Amino acid sequence: MNSSEILAQLTDILEQRKGAAPESSYVASLYDKGLDAILKKVGEEATETVMAAKDGDAEKLVYEVADLWFHTMVLLADQGLSAD
């Protein structure tokens, strides 16, 4: 599976979570809390990414960037957009 297929699959899952009960998944709970909660999470993850880069910890940086990408995709989906 290539990276564009993985992004498409993740986008599909994020769309499915929009209609799910908040207690059924982390993403569904973020959607339920609304845009401000999603933006707060993106901001937190961005800050953690910057801190990991400043610390020079490559493993932690990769982890934080992945977390930032994920939450950014949640934001895109919330706004009716996708990674495409």
pLDDT tens by residue, 64-76: 999 999 999 999 9
Tokens 């908040």 locate to 22
**HSE-up (13 A, CA, CB side) for residue 45:** 20
**HSE-up (13 A, CA, CB side) for residue 9:** 6
- Give the predicted TM-score (pTM) of the model: 0.90
Weakest-pLDDT range from 4-8, 18-22, 45-49: 4-8
pLDDT tens by residue, 32-65: 999 999 999 999 999 999 999 999 999 999 999 9
